[in-house]
Structures are given as structure tokens and as C-alpha cells.
Amino acid sequence: MDTISQVMQYLITGLTTGSIYALIAVGYVTIYNVTGVINFAQGEFTMLGALLCVSFVQSGVPLVFSIILAIVLTACFGFFMERTTVYPVRNANFVTLIIITIGVSIVLRGAGLLIWGNTPLSLPPFSDSSPVMILGAVLIPQSIWVFATLVLLLGMLYLFFEKTVLGTALKACVINPKAAQLMGINTRSMSAFAFTASAAVGAVAGIVVTPITGAIYDMGLLLGLKGFMAMVIGGMNNISGAVFAGFLIGVIEAFSGGYISTSYSDAISFAFLLLVLFISPNGMMSKATGKRV
């Protein structure tokens, strides 16, 4: 493989992985912007969606219906989680809420191990598996599905937040929850909706990546951590920044794994996180905020 095709292969691999990190980061940002909670169970939503979809397919349910069922059930779990673990202690301090989400994450991983075991499972590709050659590099069609899913979700989120009444209400809760409440917006419902939507996004991320990487009970641990890194690097209140950072982390890991060693790729991405935090503690693309007085 010559230099150009090698670089292109690493780039394709990095962008594919980065798309998954970006999808998970979108879920983090959605919840944080509405509730102020960092949900460390976001990665487990990815695991739950993937393994539920595999179970439905293995039971004989057609792939399309399996995907829909897995997303709906994961979204319902996101709603259930918010109502039973976050909402009852909504006035607790920030650290307490984080510990609760970590606890939910641990419980979900344990449940995943009990239900599905520790054997990796997979899904069939969503379309023809014949690879596409780009400058000597191999692009599998499932990677195109990953890219397309990210673009579609970003487009839907933009239309939702900018063109719908519910989206406008969510934005109002982010900007000034007390004022939104005085205007008749039910901020409690907005919190539940944010968890439900982010769980659905996490499930989508897990489902589209499963034909490439497989699915296992602890897959959400590292994916969730990388999604959180993307959120922090891009700016905790900025969806586009989180998406860009997700791509950047994926590319850094691919090139460091290819030119240095895969053993160090995670360490290098974490070192990059620390570097960004030293230079810009609020993230590379954080939005300026302030109050008019």
C-alpha cells in the first residue's frame, strides 16, 4: 500500500470511528444543555440499542423492524431512567447527579453481561457489503451508513430546535429555566424528553456501528468515554463543536494507531484532551455566554 492510499485508509477509518463518537457526544450535549446533568450512562444506551437489535434479529424479526423496536425500547428506558433516578433528586448537587448516572451505567453493564453474556454479537450489513475503493483505500458500505446517519440526525436536530415549538421550548429551558417556567413551559417534561431523545440517539449509534465492530455488554464504557471527550473538547454546550471534536478524536486515534501503535492511540487521544483543557478549559468551540444587567 503506497503512502497516499495508506493516509486515505487511516482517514476513512478515523472518520468512521469519529462519526460514532460524534453521535454519542450529541446525546451528551442534548441532556447537558437541557438539564445541566452529564449522563455517564450515555454509552450504555449505545450498548442497549445494539444488543436489543441483535436479539430481535436473532429472533426472526426483520432488520428494519428490529432497528425501530430497539430504538423505541432504548428511548423508553431513557425516559424511565430520568423519571426514577434523576428527577426525584433533581435539586441535588451536580456531583450527586453524576454519581447517580455512573451507578446506572454500572447496573446496565451488569445487566448486559447477565442477559447477553460476554460473547461479541453482530448484525448483518445494512446493504451490499462490496467495498468501495477511494485512492487505493477501502471504504465499506456500512461506513457510509454511519456517515449518512450522523448527517441525517444532525439535520433533524437542527430542524427540531429551530423550526418546532417543542424545540423552541427546549432552547428556552437551556437559556433561562426560571423564565421558561414563568412562560408556562413544563421544564420537568423537557428534562424527560431530553433523556428520551438522547437515549434514542445512543441506540442509533450502537446499531449502525454493530455490523462493523460487533456488540458486547461493555462496549458502551469506552464509547461513552470517547463521546464525553468529544463533548468536552468541542464545548459542552455546542453540538457542532462536539461533532467536530468526535471526528478529530477518531482521526487522531486512526493515525496514531497506524504510525505509532494501537496500544498508544487511547493514551494519545487523552493527552490531546488534556492539551485542549490547558489551552481552552471551556473547549475548542464553546459558545460565549453572559447575562445582560
Please state the separation of Cα 252 from the chain's center in Å: 18
Residue 93 covered by a domain: yes
Residue 76 covered by a domain: yes
Lowest mean pLDDT among 13-27, 179-193, 274-288: 179-193
Residue 289 covered by a domain: no
User: Cα separations (Å) of 52 from 67, 227, 283?
Assistant: 9, 21, 34
The reported pLDDT for the residue numbered 160 is 79
Residue 245 covered by a domain: yes
Residue 285 covered by a domain: no
Task: Name the pLDDT band for 1 (thresholds 50, 70, 90).
Answer: low
Residue 286 covered by a domain: no
Element (H, E) at 37: none
Measured at the alpha carbon of residue 219, what is the angle toward residues 115 and 76, in degrees to the nearest 5?
60
Q: Name the 3-class secondary structure at 215.
A: strand
Number of domains in the chain: 1
- Look at 191 and 210; give whichever has higher pLDDT: 210
The reported pLDDT for the residue numbered 111 is 93
Amino acid at 168: T
Nearest CA to 38 out of 94, 90, 105, 104 is that of 94
Rounded to whole angstroms, how far apart are CA atoms 206 and 78? 15
Question: Percent of the chain having pLDDT more than 90?
Answer: 39
- Look at 289 and 268; give whichever has higher pLDDT: 268
DSSP string, 86-149: IGGGTTS-HHHHHHHHHHHHHHHHHHHHHHHTTS-B----SS----EEETTEEE-HHHHHHHHH
Backbone angles phi, psi at 59, to 5 degrees: -85, 0
* Own/partner pairs, 221-225, CB within 8 angstroms, 24+ separation: 221/43, 221/105, 221/109, 222/43, 222/266, 223/20, 223/21, 223/24, 223/43, 223/46, 223/47, 224/24, 224/40, 224/41, 224/42, 224/43, 224/44, 224/46, 224/105, 225/43
Q: For 21-71, how does the pLDDT look when each residue is reduced to its tens digit (9 = 90+)?
A: 998 998 888 888 777 788 899 999 999 999 999 999 999 999 999 999 999
Residue 290 covered by a domain: no
Highest mean pLDDT among 86-90, 191-195, 226-230: 226-230
The reported pLDDT for the residue numbered 55 is 95
Task: Name the pLDDT band for 287 (thresholds 50, 70, 90).
Answer: low
Is residue 10 within 8 Å of 140, Cβ to Cβ? Answer: no
The reported pLDDT for the residue numbered 283 is 77
Q: For 149-162, how does the pLDDT look when each residue is reduced to its tens digit (9 = 90+)?
A: 988 988 888 887 77
Which domain CATH number covers 123? 1.10.3470
The reported pLDDT for the residue numbered 34 is 76
Q: For 164-193, how does the pLDDT look when each residue is reduced to its tens digit (9 = 90+)?
A: 877 777 767 666 666 766 677 766 677 888
Lowest mean pLDDT among 144-148, 237-241, 270-274, 275-279: 237-241
The reported pLDDT for the residue numbered 177 is 65
Kindly state the average pLDDT of the residues 112-120.
92
Is residue 7 within 8 Å of 259, Cβ to Cβ? Answer: no
Computed over every residue of the chain, the mean pLDDT equals: 85
The reported pLDDT for the residue numbered 293 is 32
Domain that holds residue 273: 3-279
The reported pLDDT for the residue numbered 176 is 65
Q: What is the value of pTM for the model shown?
A: 0.87
The reported pLDDT for the residue numbered 290 is 43
Residue 292 covered by a domain: no
Kindly state the average pLDDT of the residues 119-143.
84
Rounded to whole angstroms, how far apart are CA atoms 74 and 34? 19
Angle (deg, nearest 10), helices 165-175 and 187-213: 100
Question: Percent of the chain having pLDDT more than 70?
Answer: 92
